[in-house]
Chain A
Amino acid sequence: MPDPSHLRVPWVIRMNKKVMVVVCLTLVALVVLGLYSFGPWRQGQRPGKSNLAATRYPVSVKPTPEPAAPASAGGLELAGYHNRDVKENYYSVRVPQGWQVQAGKVLGSYSLSFAGGSGTIELMDVPDNSTLALYALSQEEPRLKKTLAEYQRLDYRKIEVDGNEAHQLVFDSQSDAGGVRTVRTYIAGQDCAAVVTLAAPLDAYAGVQAAFSDVLAAFHWEN
């Protein structure tokens, strides 16, 4: 009859050598993973999706000097910007020459200002379990209603920008300076959506409406 005393030996000691090797390698792999994720090796390149904490690409914040800046249909001279901040979300946009363009706070975004108005161009992550239209109406619009004074939707429509599905919200709101009309356009992309927001005071809106259309028409995903 076999001696049952081995059953009382701790399980760690009863492991065979191959299993011990696997356990040791697993522990080493977990330590390496931890260091690579949160520790000193974090600086290394990270495979996978875009990393919004990456460094801003210099090209993104300089107007394009090349001939890619023809006049718009409205006769305005346009300056081109190629945004290369976020991998998989490269885009180019052209804005009238007189507009001030600055890098936004978040990578992949621009802050626009011009006589009588302002705007932003930014990237927006849309969850896989939603569509752009659903997200714009069920998440974005309620957020706008909460954050803007006297939000009033004037129009919502599905359009096409550079061959991509886009959804456009036009709304009025109140700021300290008075009424503002905003055109906010969500443009579907491969990874993120682009959100182009252009706003002008109610009395100046008619004068910049053509420029707004030109900026939208010039938007282009580069991926």
Chain B
Amino acid sequence: MRRIFGFLSLAALGLGVYLKVAYDVPDSQETLNFFVSGFLMIIGGAGLLINLLWKPTGVAPKDKE
């Protein structure tokens, strides 16, 4: 689960950076691109950070085995 969360965060971050840096934005869509790329980068960065900081407080029964 944690790996999936980390992968999705990394994907969001990567997509955000791509939209910000490399994507050729149509002239009338710059505001939308600014928002979407910023949103993805923030979410992706925060997701990665949370993934690194998260410490489970207990062990679920199925993880014990």
**Footprint of B on A, CB under 8 Å?**
2, 4, 6-7, 14-16, 18-19, 22-23, 25-26, 29-30, 33-34, 37-38, 42, 46, 48-52, 125, 127-128, 192
B43 touches A (CB below 8 Å): yes
Closest Cβ neighbor of B55 among chain A residues? A16
A18, A34, A49: the one contacting B25 at CB < 8 Å is A49
Once the chains are docked, how many angstroms separate the CA of A125 from the CA of B27? 7
* A51-B30 in contact (CB<8A): yes
Once the chains are docked, how many angstroms separate the CA of A149 from the CA of B59? 75
* B31-A6 in contact (CB<8A): no
Once the chains are docked, how many angstroms separate the CA of A2 from the CA of B63? 14
* A34-B35 in contact (CB<8A): yes
* B31-A48 in contact (CB<8A): no
Once the chains are docked, how many angstroms separate the CA of A14 from the CA of B60? 13
Once the chains are docked, how many angstroms separate the CA of A219 from the CA of B46? 49
Residues of B within 8 A of A49 (CB): 25, 30
- Total interface residues on B, CB under 8 Å, equals 25
| Given A26-B42, A37-B38, CB of A6 within 8 Å of CB of B57 | yes
* A52-B28 in contact (CB<8A): yes
Once the chains are docked, how many angstroms separate the CA of A6 from the CA of B60? 10
B39 touches A (CB below 8 Å): yes
* A23-B34 in contact (CB<8A): no
Residues of B within 8 A of A15 (CB): 54
Residues of B within 8 A of A52 (CB): 27-28
B50 touches A (CB below 8 Å): yes
A2, A26, A46, A127: residue with the most chain B Cβ atoms closer than 10 Å: A26
Once the chains are docked, how many angstroms separate the CA of A18 from the CA of B54? 8
B20, B31, B43: the one contacting A26 at CB < 8 Å is B43
| Given A22-B49, A49-B25, A127-B24, CB of A29 within 8 Å of CB of B35 | no
* B58-A26 in contact (CB<8A): no
Residues of A within 8 A of B50 (CB): 19, 22-23
* A26-B46 in contact (CB<8A): yes
* A30-B39 in contact (CB<8A): yes
B4 touches A (CB below 8 Å): no
* B35-A16 in contact (CB<8A): no
Chosen A-B contacts, 18 in total, with CB atoms closer than 8 Å, are: A6-B57, A7-B58, A14-B57, A15-B54, A16-B54, A16-B57, A19-B53, A19-B54, A22-B46, A29-B42, A30-B39, A33-B39, A46-B31, A46-B34, A52-B27, A52-B28, A127-B26, A192-B27
